Structure 1
Amino acid sequence: MKEEMSSVDVYAVVGELQFLLDAKIEKVYQHTPDEVRMRLQEFKTGKYDLIAEAGRRLHVSSHPRESPKLPPAFAMILRKYMMGGRITAIRQRGFDRIVEIEAVRAGEKTILVVEMFARGNVVLLDADRRIIMPLKSIKMKDRDVLRGEVYEYPASQLNPLTVTESELAALFRESDKDVVRTLATQTNMGGMYVEEACLISGVDKGRPAKSLVESEVRLLLNGIRTLFKPLSEGVLRPHIVRKDGKNVDVLPLELKRYDGFEKVFFETFNKALDEYYSAVTVSEIKAKAAEKKVEKMGPLERRLKQQEEAIAKFEKEEAENVRKGELIYADYQQVEDIIKVINGARAKGYSWDDIRKTLKDAKKAGNAAATAIQAVDPATGTLTIKLPEATVNIDIALTVPQNAQAYYDKAKKITAKKEGALKAIGQTKAAMAKAQPAAADAAGKKKVKASTKPRKPRWYDRFRWFHTSDGFLVVGGRDADSNEEIVKKYMDRNDVFFHAQAHGAPITVVKAEGREVTPQALAETAQFAVSYSSVWKAGQFSGDCYWVRPEQVSKTPESGEYVAKGAFIVRGERNYVKDVPVRAAIGIRFDESGCYVIGGPVDAVKARAKYSVIIEPGELNQGDAAKKIYRYFTEHASADDAKAIRQAASPDRIMMFMPPGETRIAL
C-alpha cells in the first residue's frame, strides 16, 4: 500500500491547488506530531481544509480529524504568523517532493515548506528564508533544520519533464547501473514510472545504461514525454487502484502495470488522495480505540499483547536485516567500488572533511557513486549508502561480504531475542491460566476503589523513577549524589544497570526483585535512560545507550585513573541499544494508594495512567510546558478527578517527572 506521495503526485496536486490562491487562512491545527491542517476561506467556492503531513501527503480533505483542545506549540506559531493572511503562491520546487505555500499578512511574507520525502518536515520561513520554526528540529549530515538557520533544500535531481536528450545521454554514459536503476536514482521519477517509460519506449529496463545508443536514448526520452504528456497538458485521470477489495495505490495517470486491476475514478486528484488517505486515517483512529481497550486490560493480558507485538517486531527486523545483507551482495560491485575509493582517499591522507567536500562536489556534478553515499560518520568509519531498494550502513574497514555478514549477524541476534520472547509468552499464558480461578473467586467481591487522595511518599520518590508496563520498578539518578546512592545502596546482583551514550547521563537501574527482566522492560528502560539524559537537552530525536550486569560496575579505577563522584567504571561486554527514540510521557495515576503524577517511557506511562500526555524535545521551557500539561489534565478529567489532580499534581510536581531541557507537547 502506498505510504507517501510521489513527485508525480505532487506535481498533479499542486496544479489543482492553484484555485486556493488569495484564500484566507482562518485557522491552523496540528493533529499529530507530523500532520498540520489549514482551515481556508476561498471567497468564491467556500471553506476548505488543506492537510499537510510531513513525509507523506498534501491535499484538500473533506474528512479532517477532530481539532485538538490543546494546540501544540507549532500550531500556535503558525497561527501567530499566518492566521488572517492570504495565500499568494503554491509551488513545487522543480520536480521534487517539496511544496512551498507562500502567504502575506499585514504586508509580511511567510513561507510554509512541506517536505514529503522520507524524514520530511514542515517548516515555517520568513521572507529571507530563515527558519522561524520547524515542525521537527533535525540535525543531518548535509543540512540542519533548526530555528534561526537559513533553510536549505536537499540535493535536487534531474527533472523528467524538462530533461534533454543530451542530459539523458550523459547520465547513461556515466552510469555503471542498468537503465531502471540509473533513472530511479538520478531523476525524481521513481522506479514505478521509470518502468512505465521503458514499457512505452520498448527499451529493456535491465540493459546496462551505458550500452544505450543514441537512437535508444531518444526512444526512451520520447517514452518519458509520452508518459508525462497528460501532466504537462493538465489532462489527468485521477483514480484509486484496488485489489481484492483493498486500496493499493492512488494515481493521477493510468499505468500499464495496473491493467486488469479494479479502478475507481474521481473528478479531481485531490478527491482521490482524500479518499485514499482518509481510509488510512480511519484505520488509525480504530487503532487508537483499540489502544484504549488495551489500557482496560489486566496486567497479564496487557503483557501478553505487548509480548506478541514484540515478536512481530522482531520478525520484521529479522527479515529486514537479512534483506539488507542480500541487497549488499546484489550490488556487490558498487559497494566494493565505494569502499575502495573512500579507503584510497584515507590512505592518501585526505581528512573526513576533505572527503565530504569532494562528495558534495561530485554529487553536484551528477556522479552516481557520490549520489549513492547519503552520509558519512567519521567516528565509526561508516557510510550510509542508498541502494535501489534500501539504505544500508557500510563499514569501510570491512569487505563487502563482511558488511553483508554484519546484517546477517544482527538477524541472528534478533532471532535469539525472539526465542526469549516466545518463552516469555509461554510463561505469561501459564500465569494467566493460574490466575483465572483466583479471578473467578474475586469476581463477586467488592472492587477496591481507587483513592483520590494524594499518595503517601515512597523511598524512590527522591530519584527519577517509573514502573515498566509489566511491573518492574526502574530508578534513575538526578545528580552525582543520587547516582552514587542508587548503585551503592539499592542495586542488587540480579538488577540491570543502564547508561546513555551521552555526557552527564544519569545512572539507571532496573530492579529485578527475583524476576527475570523482560525484553519489554529493557526496551522501556532504554528509552528512559536516553530521554532523561543530555540528549533531550540537545534537541536530538534519537540516542544510544547500553546495559550491563551489576558485577560489571565498579568504583575501582585502573592505576593512575580517577573516577569522579557519581561516575563508575564499566568492565566487560556492553549490550548496546541503538537509535532509541527520544520521547516521554507524563501521566496521572489513580490506585488504592492515591492520586499521583508518573512519568517515563510512553508505553509504560500509557499502560498505568488514567490520563497521559506525550512529550518530546521542543521549544517550551519546563515551567511553561508543565503548566500546559497541568491545564490539559484538569480540563480533560472528570470533576472528581480534576479536584484530586489539583491537590496532587501541581505544575511543580509535573516538572519533577520531565526530562531536562525544552519540551514540545505531542499529545
Structure 2
Amino acid sequence: MPKQRISSVDIKFLVRELQQSCIGFRLANLYDVTGKVYMLKFAKPDHKEFVIVESGVRIHTTAYMRAKPTLPSAFTLKLRKHLRTWRCEKVEQLGVDRIIDFTFGREEACYHLIFEFYAKGNIILTDHEYTIVALLRTHKQDAESLFAVKERYPVEKAVQHTPMTEEALLALLSSPGSEGNSIKQVLSSKTEYGPAQVEHCLLTAEIKPNTKLKSGFSTANPEAVQRLLQALQAVDDLIAHPEAAPAAGYIYKVPSPSGAEGEFLYEHFSAFPLRQYATERFQSEELPSFNQSVDQYFSKFEDQKAEGEVESKQQEKLSKVEKVKLDHENRIRELQQAQENSVRKAELIICNAEDVDAAIAVIRSALAQSIDWTELKRVVKEQCRMGNPIAMIIHDFHFEENKITLLLGDTTDDAAEEDLTAPMLPVRVDISLSAYANARTYFDQKKKAVAKEEKTSAATAKAVKSAQKRADKDLKNEIPSGPTIKVLRKPYWFEKFNWFITSENLLVISGRDAQQNEILVKRYLRQGDVYVHADLHGASSCIIKNPLGKPVPPVSLSQAGSMCVARSAAWDSKIITSAWWVYHNQVSKTAPTGEYLPTGSFMIRGKKNFLPPNPLVMGLAIIWKVADECIPNHVHERRPREDDDGTGPWGQPEPQVPELEVPDEDLGGDANEDTEEDGPADGGGAGLLRDPSPLCSDATLSTNPSTASTDTSGPEESPGPSWDPLEAGGADEDPLEAGG
C-alpha cells in the first residue's frame, strides 16, 4: 500500500531543510487550498519559498501552484492577521513527535505556529507562552489536555527520543505480549522508528521481518540481535544528526498495472535508501533534496486525485445525458410495441369475427334479462365445463367498463404454423360494439401510437441536445478550466517592468512609474544599450537591451519609440508624434549647478535622434517557451535584416557602440542639454508588437486608442502600481495573489 503520511523520522529530515528554506524569511502571505491544505509563502528580496501543509499528513516546500478558493477562510484570515510580514526565526520538531513548531518573532514578541501530523492533525497558533490564539479544530486528547482557544498547548509533553541500547532491545524482544507476534510488529509499535525504518533495520540485520518471536529468541540468536542493534543505532545517529546525512530524497515506484510504457505508481519515499525496496520489483528515483521527493510524491497523488474527481464528475453528467436518451428510446420502443399489439388484436378480432359477435350477443342477452353479474360468471364457467365453444373463449368480465376479455387465436386455413401453435391472446372488446367496430377501435389506437412515436422521435434530438448543453454548462462551472496543479515558473527579472521583444529579438523594457524609471536607468542601463523617450507627459523611460553591442536596427528603434509614445498622454489625446533615442552614455543623473532632478528624471547630453512618427497601435501576444531540444529549430528566427553581402543591418559595418565625446562647453547647460522628467506610465506588461513574430501567437491589435484596455494617464490621474525596489533582481508578481 502506498505511503499516506510523513513519519517522525521523515520530519527530522524535513525540518533540516525547512530551516534552510524558511529561517530569515518573512511570511508574505498564507492561503487555504482546501479545508485541510494550506500554503505558506515565505519571501525575502529576490527569493520566495512556498510551503504546503496538509494537516495530519504532510509538510514540505513545493514547486507547484495549486488552485484555491476566491475568498479565504476565517481561520486563514486569523493567521494572516497575526503572522503576515513576520520573520521566521526558528523551525524545530518537538521531541520525536510528529509536531513541527514555526517561531515568528523573538522573545515575548513572538508567535508559534504548530503543525500536528498524527491522528486527524491540527494547526495551532499560540503566543510566546504557548497560549492558544487560534486553531483549526478543537478537541480533547485526554482528561487533562483540552485543545481550545485560551488553553495552554502542552509543549512539555513532547516525547523525547531515547537511543537504542542492548538492554532496551532485549527488553523489547522479551516484553510481555510480544511472544507470537512478528518482530517487525513489536518494534514498530514500541519504538519511534516507524514500520519502514524497522523493516530496513531487520533486513540489514538479515532477519526476516515476519519472524515470530518465541521465548528465548535473543538467547538463540545473539549475532542477529547484535546486527539489529547496530542497524537501529545507525538510524539513531541519523535522527540525532540529520545534518550529517546527504541532502537527498528517494522515491520508490512500481510499473503501472495498465502496462503503459513510462507510467509508474508511487509506493514510498524516504530520506535514505531502504533495503526492502532494493529489488527488481521497485524502481528508485533519487532527487537532490528530501523536500523535492516529498513534494513530487504527494503532488503526483494530488494530481491523480484531481483527475479522478474531474473524471467522476464528467461521468456523472454524461450519465444524465445517457439517461435522458435512454428514457426517450424506451418510450419509442413502448409505442412501437403498442402498435404491434393493436394491429395483432384487430387482426385476431377480424379472424374470429363470428365467435366474437356470438360472445357479445350472449353477454348482451344475459344482461338484458337482468341476470346478476355473479350469476352470469357462474353460468359461463358451467358452460365452459360443458364444452360450449363460445363460453370457452370468454376469459374475464369488466362490467364496470362494459367490456369483456376474449381468448383469441389465428385459426384460419392460411395461418402460419407458429401462429397455430402460439398461445391464445387475451383481447378486450366492448360489448356495445360489433366485432368489426372493436377491430376499428384497435386500428385507431395504432394510428395514435404512430403519431406519438413521430412526436417523441422529433423531441428526442431536442431533449438530448438540451441535456448535453446543460451538462456542458455544469461541467464548465464545476470543473476548473486548467490543471489544478501547475509548476511554479520563476519570473524573469524584467517582468516587473513593461516589456516586449522586438521583431529582431531585442528586449525592450520601460518603467511603470517614476520610481521604476529611476531604477531602470540606474541598475539596468548598460554599455551598448539605447535609451528611448518622448517629449510627452507620462512617457516612461525605455531601454533597448543590446548585449552584443551591435548597432540597434531601425525596426527595433521604431517599435520601442511606438511603445514609448503609446504609453504616454498621446494615447488618450490621439496625438501622433515622434519619440527619440540616445546612447547609454548620454543619460546622466547629474543636474546642472543650482538645479535638482526629481525621481525618474534624467539629464540628456548631446544630440537626440528623433524617430519617424508612428500610429498609435498596441498589440497583445502570447509568448511561450520552447523545450531545450527544440531550440535548434528556432535559432535563425527573429534575426535583424541583413544585406546579401553579409554585412550588418542596412549594409553598414558592425562596430561597437562608440563612447560619445562630450565637449566641455556642452556641460554647462546650453541648447544641446535637456532634462527629461519622466512621469509615471500605467498599464500592464503588454508588449508592443508591430511585426508579429514566430514566437508569438493569437496577437490582437487595436488601432483605436480610445477602445484599448491600457490606460496611460499622467501622474495626477494615476500614480501607477507600487513596486518594491528591494526586489529589483526578480519579478514581483505573485501567481497566488489573485485569489486573496
Q: Normalised by the shorter chain, which TM-score bucket? A: 0.3 to 0.5
Report the structure, 1 or 2, having the larger helix content: 1
Structure number, greater radius of gyration: 2
